[in-house]
Amino acid sequence: MADGTTVLVCARPALEADLCRTLFWRDDLERYVAERADEARMLALSTEPHVVVVDLNLSGAFGLIDGLRRNPLPHPVSIVAVAEDASQAEEEDMTSRGADTILALPSGPAWDDRLVNVLTVPTRKQARYAVRFDIVTTLAGGRPIEHRGLALNMSAGGLLVECPEAGLQPGDDVHLNLPIPGQRAPVEGRARVVRHPAAHHVGLRFEAFAGDGDEKVRDYLKALAAQVPDGA
């Protein structure tokens, strides 16, 4: 299994007791849990999971699966549907809808081999591109504190920023002002500080953008990708 695998579980609270005995609750997995399909959609955008587990008995479960396939994340995602007494016909229907596998409840030894296959599917790490432009972050909550930094690299999920000013800590929520090259106005949005990889550097994870900011970021990344020689 690739390091840093993230699992998003969308299931009823009663089902968690069953799932917590499976490989989805391994200590080496980063795991998020949602009890509603709409909540899972938002978590999928912010956490960018490699595996999504969907309880088919939840309202909106089928729409969640359809949405994940229609609007793919920056890397491949394995979708696992779980249902009580799933028939062969239901398995084929879910596969046609976009699920990679369907598991019949309750969980048992028969799950193990199939889960190992799901968790060991090679996943492509997010493409990250070197950039160099100034950004402004403002600490959210309380008295606004402005920090200026230099963006060093960027992916669809976030930024690495050189920020000599002390003050930003993992878990902080910030407002972003991104003067993306080629755009008339800066892209505005929200992000969360997720790490301090080196002195005076912070890793930011995008949370949301105003207006069509997400589209502008993705278009910019596509333009950067087109400049990278094949095989680089």
CA dihedral 88, 6, 117, 10 (to 10 degrees): -10
Measure the CA–CA gap between 38 and 114, rounded to whole angstroms: 27
> What is the domain extent for residue 182?
129-226
CATH number of domain containing 108: 3.40.50.2300
Q: Determine if residue 198 is left, alpha or beta; phi over 0 gives left, psi from -120 to 50 gives alpha, anything else beta.
A: beta
d(CA 56, CA 38): 14
Helix runs in 6-161, H state only = 13-19, 37-47, 61-70, 88-97, 109-119
- The answer for residues whose C-beta is within 8 angstroms of residue 114's C-beta and 6 or more apart is 101, 103
Q: Which two tokens stand for residue 141?
A: 């909550």
For the domain that residue 173 is a member of, what is the CATH number? 2.40.10.220
Q: What is the pTM of this model?
A: 0.51
Per-residue pLDDT of the chain (232 residues; tens, 9 = 90+): 444 678 899 999 888 878 888 888 888 788 899 999 999 998 888 888 888 999 998 999 989 988 887 776 666 688 888 887 666 556 666 666 678 788 888 777 777 767 776 765 534 345 678 888 888 888 877 566 788 888 888 887 788 888 876 678 888 888 988 998 888 899 999 888 877 767 788 888 888 888 888 888 888 888 888 886 654 4
Q: Which of 119, 145, 180 is the last residue of a domain?
A: 119
Number of domains in the chain: 2
Beta strands 78-84 and 51-55 are parallel
- Please tell me whether residues 161 and 115 are part of one structural domain: no
143 and 67 assigned to the same domain: no
Same domain, 108 and 198: no
